[in-house]
Structure 1
Amino acid sequence: MEELGLKRNQHHNSPHHGRLLPKRIILVRHGESEGNLDTSAYSTTPDNKIPLTPLGKSQARSAGARLHDLISRYSSPNWRAYFYVSPYERTRSTLREMGRSFSKRRIIGVREESRVREQDFGNFQVKERMQAIREARERFGGFFYRFPEGESAADVFDRVSGFLESLWRDIDYNRLHNDPAGDLNLIIISHGLTSRVFLMKWFKWTVEQFEHLNNLGNCEFRVMELGHGGEYSLAIHHTDEELQEWGLSPEMIEDQKWRFRASRSDWNERCPWYLDEFFDNLLETSDNEDETLDDEQQILPLETSLDEDETIDNEQILIDS
């Protein structure tokens, strides 16, 4: 843990390209809800109104204490937090319970953000229909399958992408962070699939990689921490074993370690899904080695110097068509 603390202290937040980057972006799934405990709750209560169970509230209070401890231990003394929360009852209640661990002076603000809401599963009032839909989803894949009268994970990806664009505008204009000496922590309280889609978009993971990810547990969180060069990584706070349990492949884990020291302008050429996934049969040769032009194929430039008295008519110019 001392080594981990040293790594964190070595990249204290500083301006990058004229903007102040948050030290951490933390994704939190809500606590246990009535729907998690009994799926029949969806047949009588709208999804956005599903409340937390007593255990869910206890989980949220515990998560708040753990997050406060993490942030205060590895941040500057005057650190601050800014919260984004899904408008669903279970996420709002999670924030209320987590907030018990944070003093008012630590909180810059809270914003309800509808773009990080739960995936819309459509009409879940008929239990038999729900089971048939789940089976169809298993056949067609979890990312592209759109629930009848609802959304696919691809739809969630689109609105999360819009949220990220807004988030970067807020960061660019320092709307969330006006104290260079203080570490800012963005905490996004959302849902399991939405959080996984957020990570997919941020780290440019493929659909196949997304579908291998395991869901977050109730009140489980993912910590994206700022590295030396201004890139974010899951590998600063989390261990290899944790990343593996979440469904990250060895290549994805290596990419997270690379990001710890990478600049935002860097490109990880060793990422197989950036190139090898599509061009694994490319020849290991340079363009010059592949080009074999004989004398007849080579076109040499014609250098002509004309004096004022020289005239060349069209009949003297031979053009090889």
Structure 2
Amino acid sequence: MRWRCCDDDTVGGVPRRRAQQLLHNQHQERFPELALRRGPENNNGGQAPPPRPRRIVLVRHGESEGNVDEAAYTRVPDPRIGLTAQGWRDAEDCGRRLRDLFSNSGDSDWKVYFYVSPYRRSLETLRGIGRAFEPHRFAGVREEPRLREQDFGNFQDRDQMRVDKELRLKYGRFFYRFPNGESAADVYDRITGFRETLRADIDIGRFHPPQQQRRTDDMNIVLVSHGLTLRVFLMRWYKWTVRQFEGLNNLGNGGTLVMQTGEGGRYSLLVHHTEDELREFGLTDEMLKDQMWHKTARVGDINYSFITNGQSFFDERTDLYL
């Protein structure tokens, strides 16, 4: 019989315990934010998770040159379309509204972290928003290409775009793909990847830099993006159906929607907005009921009565393609 020391159990020639420690150290180097999780243990004996951001705020860019003159798309690449003078005012007004929202929450240590589309009009909107904040309020900014506008196919032909948009109405706003461009379904696929990145950033505590000695309980995430992209983000986050998505309206230029944590820590639009405001955006009675559930439910709970889950799917959706 051969006896083995526990260190004989190796990984790549390295004793397993040593290999596990090396892996742990590498993980800490890649994600130094995890060091902030050291401290008071939770009821299960593990380390307390980082606090979830209090809000996720969706912001549509300010008025752009393309919003007032569609011919701009025929001579300027879509990513280079900038803001108008009114668009800059939209951005600055939005910044003041956000500052007031965050500063009135009761926590003097509130901060904000931005994800922004790389398109010029979104970057300029963020710069306009930023004028309302003191430098110490910024937790970070990340340019995120997956938050870009729906791709309509390089330089646009005005006459052809009119035809394409008429075809989109007949074919369906979600599935119609512009020639050499994207459909809303294509945007949904890339937004799904971004959502997973955002959730991972929330779980790991990405918004709390390691050099900070104190983690704020009032972190605010702001996504500066485009109308359709933000609607698709909400669709993906709340698992809305294609039909529900197609009933939504665009935010106005510089407009915002606030997803805020409710009693159980889930994000609900009804914490900040009224039912009338959400109906104007396009939410149905069923969607509002789900938002009310999110307002009080705990993280990890599932709403089995929502239309896309459980028996209600078969009871209510009898005219799927009529």
Normalising to structure 1: TM-score of the pair? 0.80
Give 1:150's aligned residue.
181
State whether residues 305 and 312 of structure 2, in contact with CA within 8 Å, keep that contact through their aligned partners in structure 1: no
Structure 2 counterpart of 1:226, from 250, 261, 265: 261
**Residue 120 to residue 155, structure 1, CA distance change in 2 (3 Å):** same
Contact 2:151–2:181 under 8 Å retained in 1? yes
Q: 1:160-309 counterparts in 2 under 5 A?
A: 160-177=191-208, 179-276=214-311, 278-280=313-315
8 Å Cα contact 1:80/1:182 also seen in 2: no
Select the structure of larger CA radius of gyration.
1
Q: CA deviation at 1:141?
A: 0.5
Q: Following superposition of structure 1 onto structure 2, how do residues 23-102 of structure 1 map, counting pairs within 5 Å?
A: 23-102=54-133
Structure 1 regions of 5+ residues with no counterpart? 1-14, 282-321
Q: Which amino acid aligns with 1:198?
A: F
**Structure 1 counterpart of 2:78, one-letter code:** D
Letter in 1 for 2:115: Y
Runs of 4+ in 1 over 6 A off after TM superposition: none
- Number of the residue aligned with 2:32: none
Taking structure 1 as reference, are residues 17 and 264 closer, same or farther at Cα in structure 2, changes over 3 Å only?
farther
Does structure 2 retain, via aligned residues, the 8 Å contact 1:123–1:148? Answer: no
For 1:103-122, what aligned pairs fall within 5 Å after superposition?
Answer: 103-122=134-153
Alignment RMSD: 1.6
Q: Distance in 1 between matches of 2:107 and 2:138?
A: 15
Residue 124 of structure 1: how far off its partner (Å): 4.3
Question: Who is 1:319 aligned against?
Answer: none
The 8 Å contact of residues 80 and 185 in structure 1, kept in 2 or not, is answered as yes
- 1:242 positional shift: 0.1
Distance 1:181 1:127, change over 3 A: closer
The number of residues matched between the two structures is: 267
SS of match in other structure, 2:108: coil
Q: 1:224 aligns to what SS in structure 2? A: strand
Unaligned residue ranges in structure 2 (runs of 5+): 1-41, 317-322
State, as a whole percentage, how many aligned pairs show the same letter.
Answer: 53
In 2, Cα distance between equivalents of 1:202 and 1:278? 19
Rounded Cα–Cα distance in structure 1 between residues aligned with 2:48 and 2:268: 19
Equivalent residue for 1:137, pick from 168, 193, 207: 168
Aligned-partner SS, 2:149: coil
